[in-house]
């Protein structure tokens, strides 16, 4: 699925191809919450980094979070330097992947059959997950990847899903 996205002021626009376009994974970690989560969480999608095309690169800035142990995250959180919109996460640990924020995508996204709420162990007290039937929750990061979730739910193109 081709995803088109932009920041709020539209200084940065991008396209990327995704086989994991369902916005099911809500992350409540302090990094996502503070850099992108107006509702107390951020929702990342999975996409093919090789297909990322960006207009307005001169308006991009990158944030690398400081971890609890004092180290700096290898993840690079890209955002617009003009309006502050969170756009995507790229981590060279997984060079083939890029994780656009669902909130930056303008293409209509498919509705997930269920949602997962992760990193609840570090959520803000005021950020109450809205759990629906079939939703799962985790205090930390689950073992299942974005791709594995799509396959398990029959939503991967390799399984004949959408």
Residue 1: helix, strand or coil by DSSP? coil
- pTM of the predicted protein model: 0.89
**What pLDDT score does 157 carry?**
62
Q: Are the C-beta atoms of 36 and 101 separated by less than 8 Å?
A: yes
- Could you give all domains of the chain from N- to C-terminal order, each with its CATH number? 2-159 (2.170.150.70)
Query: Which pair of structure tokens corresponds to residue 111?
Result: 């509705």
Residue 16 neighbours by CB under 8 Å, 6+ apart: 2, 3, 5, 47, 48, 49, 51, 52, 53, 88, 98, 100
pLDDT at 160: 42
- Could you report the average pLDDT of every consecutive run of 10 residues in the chain (162 residues)? 97 96 92 85 94 98 92 95 96 95 96 94 91 94 91 73 42
Contact 117, 28 (CB under 8 A): yes
pLDDT for 143: 92
pLDDT value, residue 158? 54
Listed residue (3, 5, 6) closest to 82, CA to CA: 6
């Amino acid at each position: 699925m081709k995803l088109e996205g932009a920041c709020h002021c539209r200084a940065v626009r991008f396209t990327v191809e995704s086989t994991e376009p369902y916005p099911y994974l809500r992350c409540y970690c302090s990094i996502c919450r503070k850099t992108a989560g107006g509702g107390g969480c951020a929702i990342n999608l999975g996409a093919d980094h090789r297909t990322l095309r960006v207009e307005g690169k001169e308006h991009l800035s990158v944030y690398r979070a400081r971890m609890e142990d004092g180290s700096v995250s290898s993840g690079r959180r890209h955002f617009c330097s003009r309006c502050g919109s969170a756009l995507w996460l790229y981590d060279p640990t997984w060079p083939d992947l890029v994780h656009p924020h669902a909130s930056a995508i303008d293409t209509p996204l498919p509705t997930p059959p269920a949602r997962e709420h992760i990193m609840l162990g570090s959520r803000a007290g005021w950020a109450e997950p809205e759990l629906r039937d079939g939703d799962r929750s985790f205090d930390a990061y689950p073992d299942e990847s974005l791709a594995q979730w799509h396959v398990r739910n029959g939503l991967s193109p390799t399984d004949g899903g959408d």
